[in-house]
Structure 1
Amino acid sequence: MDVSRMPCSYGARLPEWVIEELAAAPATLPTDADRMALAHRLAARNPVEGSGGPFAALVVDTDSGELLAAGVNLVLDSRISAAHAEIVALSLAQTRVGGWDLGAAGSPRRELVVNWRPCAQCYGAVLWSGVRRLVIAGEGPELEQLTGFDEGPMRADWSEQLELRGIAVTSGVLRERAVEVFGEYRRMTVERGLTVYNARGAG
């Protein structure tokens, strides 16, 4: 077998504009609103920059408010369908701490902050990441209705399943701003012809 053309690694890198946004952010984000406001800012800018959809996620030390890592949706930028904001943020946080378990014994409590309920893929990533809390702006049909994305089949008791596994769920943090960002994205898809990369829906 000729393996010379077979890829042996893959990955994604945060765009420079995200790094600049993070450099200008406070060193700590003490409240849920502070954390979500940064996620919304990154999510709103992401499609404008052409990186991917209007999604952003943060991994934060729950008690101190220290930001460990941030991610935006990089599907278009990386050409990797799995490069959702949650996956990017969790992977970068795990890289930073040097381990796959963000909830390992002796480590601080860490949480994932996302500008909407995770999709089917990212729900699984939350389960296995080791975070002890999930903070979301909201849940419901607005995301799919406004953006055209297919979030996949989610079980009705998704939050209860997280709670059973020791992951607390907080919803409704700056929800109205999340819906505004999705509405802005919808306008951009019409005006600029943006690619809605996952819009097939159920067959």
Structure 2
Amino acid sequence: MHLASSLSASLPAWLLGELDDLPAVLPTLEDRMDLVNALADRNWREGSGGPFAAIVVDATTGALVSAGVNVVLASGLSSMHAEVTTLSLAQTALGRWDLGAEGADLELVVNWRPCVMCYGATMWSGVRSLVVAGEGPLLEELTKFDEGPVVADWAAQFEARGIRVSIGTRHDEAVAVFAAYGDSDSIVYNARGAVD
């Protein structure tokens, strides 16, 4: 067997075709989450991955730095969650692994509290703020995804590291996306099956 020496993931064709049409500036948290929820809903309907999307913006100006979706199914890579994809695209665009370098105040906007993997990826990315539509077990109940053992004080842990957290922007709209996904026959790609 030949050992792999590289890996690759890309945004799905449907999003690649729309990148140039995304707003260059998203001035409010609601504008930002509206885009995230729209991308998340389209993503699962297109079969690229789960109902998850994220963007990185300049927290002050709202300038869009990157947009991404969950591409686990499209890439065949279990780590290609929306947060990992979007943070990686921002790091590639800016040419640095630390998104907080040079005084940058970048913000990750995602349609739910990060899973256990994305929790670490977000914390170590250098973003200075995190905006989520919601938190808690409702996502798992609606979608049957296993989000892993996220610590109870997850938001406080971000805050302790200088990362501002905002919870609740467009909560109901995010829940509607998850409910539609849960009612569909889409693949829930937990390793060895869903968690009860």
TM, length-normalised to structure 2: 0.95
Equivalence for 1:118: 114
Equivalence for 1:200: 194
Q: Quick check: 1:88 aligned with 2:85?
A: yes
The Cα offsets for residues 102-158 of structure 1, whole Å up to 9 and x where unpaired, read as 001x24200100000000000000110000000000112210001000000011111
Equivalence for 1:50: 47
Retained in 1: the 8 A contact 2:54–2:86? yes
Determine the C-alpha separation between the residues in 2 that align with 1:25 and 1:14: 14
Over the residues paired in the alignment, what is the CA RMSD in angstroms? Answer: 1.2
Equivalence for 1:67: 64
Q: Quick check: 1:32 aligned with 2:29?
A: yes
Residue 57 of structure 2 aligns to a residue in which SS?
strand
Give the deviation of 1:27 after TM superposition: 1.3
Determine the C-alpha separation between the residues in 1 that align with 2:23 and 2:55: 13
Determine the C-alpha separation between the residues in 2 that align with 1:177 and 1:57: 15
Q: Quick check: 1:184 aligned with 2:180?
A: yes
Q: From the CA coordinates, give the structure whose radius of gyration is larger.
A: 1
Determine the C-alpha separation between the residues in 2 that align with 1:101 and 1:11: 21
Misfit runs of 4+, over 4 Å: none
Give the deviation of 1:45 after TM superposition: 0.6
The Cα offsets for residues 136-184 of structure 1, whole Å up to 9 and x where unpaired, read as 0011221000100000001111110100000000000000001100011
The total of aligned residue pairs comes to: 194
Give the letter aligned to residue 84 of structure 1: H
Retained in 1: the 8 A contact 2:23–2:64? no
The Cα offsets for residues 14-53 of structure 1, whole Å up to 9 and x where unpaired, read as 1121123332222100000000000000000111111000
Equivalence for 1:155: 151
Give the deviation of 1:200 after TM superposition: 3.5
Give the letter aligned to residue 109 of structure 1: D
Retained in 1: the 8 A contact 2:188–2:194? no
Unaligned runs of 5+ in 2: none
Unaligned runs of 5+ in 1: none
Identity over aligned pairs, percent: 56
Determine the C-alpha separation between the residues in 2 that align with 1:144 and 1:180: 13
Give the deviation of 1:201 after TM superposition: 2.7
Give the letter aligned to residue 71 of structure 1: G
